Structure 1
Amino acid sequence: MSLKKEDTPTLILIDIQQAFDDEEYWGGTRNNTEAEENAKRLLDYWRAHGLPLFHIQHISKNPDAKHGLNSPGHFFKEIVKPMPGEIIIQKSVNSSFIGTDLKEQLDKKGLNTLVIVGLTTDHCVSTTTRMAGNYGYETYLVSDATATFGKKGIHGEYYDGEMMHRTALAQLNEEFAAILSTQNVIDTLDVL
């Protein structure tokens, strides 16, 4: 795979929402505190170059949940808040493709190259990346523009956010996506 501007890469920003500001609720030890800053760098680049982008917003079926419509957590973080006219796709499950028209919109516009960023690496980002790879999209996941939290294992052991992030990336790498950094993406698109 080779990321090229002429292939009209499409930025997919997944669930960069206020709900994830409650670190303890999600398991603590969040890794990569610069993820939103890096996502903004990419978003600014995409906007400046007129490249397509989609904002994915998780809306829980439970209106009182952290991502529910009755909670401020469902709002996008200000740092990557959509501008008027930018496409917002709402979902209620981990995959950005299930129960949405994301695939139809991509296919209708002939967009085959996806650059994925967002929260959280091991949940919605991973699920969306896996499906994108399975659908045959040329898929890139930006490692420093994603982040996650710690998780309790099946025997009560604790895995911190950095471990969860790294293992999620390892599972996706070269099987479902190429893993790049924010600077890799920008440098590659600027050169070609």
Structure 2
Amino acid sequence: MIPDGAALLIIDVQRAIDDPRWAADGPRNNPGAEANMAAVLAAWRDRGWPVVHIRHDSTVPGSTYTPGTPGHGFKDAVMPRAGETVMGKATNSAFIGTGLEPWLRGRGIGAVVVMGVITNNSVEATVRTAGNLGFTVWLVEDACFTFARRDRRGHLWTAEDVHALSLANMDGEYAAIATTRQIA
């Protein structure tokens, strides 16, 4: 299913996401996401395939992702190892304002597997950009999560609904949606 040497992109899996402010409208979905991320990452490491840890370096005052704060560090489940690539970003897409695209192209990598947070924000933005740039993309649906969200009319959507709609937005046109079991 996944071509040999596909790069694993781990998006924004930092301690910042555990701040209670993220769950102000309701709990996150997919409580097993970090365990699934760890399983996919272990499979990539075992295969010797490329791993890129994307770190959000927020420039927004008071952000939980502000460099130099405790939330800026990676979560234990996906802690980078020596020799693994770490790239910082200041926008939602891992391809904007970073060296990710030339890094991938310079290594002849045309396929990426994406996992991380938040499904409907940085994960979706990264997947859409990767697809638009011509990369073959897989998204690991159970190695991502999001939070409940209120729409502009005041309706509160559960995290599971937000996640499902984001997956539907990406499925087919931008990425193939897969599970940890299918990927790892």
Q: Normalized against structure 2, the TM-score is what?
A: 0.96
Aligned-pair Cα RMSD in Å: 1.2
Structure 1 residues 23-32 or 68-77, which shifts more? Answer: 23-32
Alignment pair present for 1:17 and 2:9: no
CA deviation after TM superposition for structure 1 residue 84, in Å = 1.1
Structure 1 residues 20-29 or 110-119, which shifts more? Answer: 20-29
Q: Which residue of 2 aligns with 1:95?
A: 93
Deviation string for 1:26-71 (max 9, x for gaps)? 4432000111111110111111110001000001013642000142
Q: Which residue of 2 aligns with 1:153?
A: 151
Deviation string for 1:87-119 (max 9, x for gaps)? 000001100000100001000000001000000
Alignment pair present for 1:172 and 2:156: no
In structure 1, distance between residues paired with 2:110 and 2:32 = 28
Q: Which residue of 2 aligns with 1:189?
A: none
Contact 2:19 2:64 in 1 (8 A): no
The aligned runs of 1:173-192 (5 Å cut-off) are 173-186=171-184
Contact 1:114 1:140 in 2 (8 A): yes
Deviation string for 1:108-162 (max 9, x for gaps)? 0000010000001000000000000000101000000000001111111101100
CA deviation after TM superposition for structure 1 residue 78, in Å = 1.1
Contact 1:114 1:138 in 2 (8 A): yes
For 2:7, the aligned partner's letter is: T
Q: Normalized against structure 1, the TM-score is what?
A: 0.92
Structure 2 spans left out of the alignment, 5+ residues: none
In structure 2, distance between residues paired with 1:4 and 1:104 = 19
Structure 1 residues 58-67 or 42-51, which shifts more? Answer: 58-67
Q: Which residue of 1 aligns with 2:53?
A: 55
For 1:3, the aligned partner's letter is: I
Q: Which residue of 2 aligns with 1:126?
A: 124
- Aligned pair count? 183
CA deviation after TM superposition for structure 1 residue 19, in Å = 0.8
In structure 1, distance between residues paired with 2:51 and 2:101 = 13
In structure 2, distance between residues paired with 1:33 and 1:114 = 24
Equivalent position SS for 1:29: coil
Q: Which residue of 2 aligns with 1:3?
A: 2
In structure 2, distance between residues paired with 1:64 and 1:108 = 36
CA deviation after TM superposition for structure 1 residue 80, in Å = 0.8
Distance 1:62 1:154, change over 3 A: closer
For 2:135, the aligned partner's letter is: Y
In structure 2, distance between residues paired with 1:119 and 1:29 = 14
- State the identity %: 38
Contact 1:64 1:70 in 2 (8 A): no
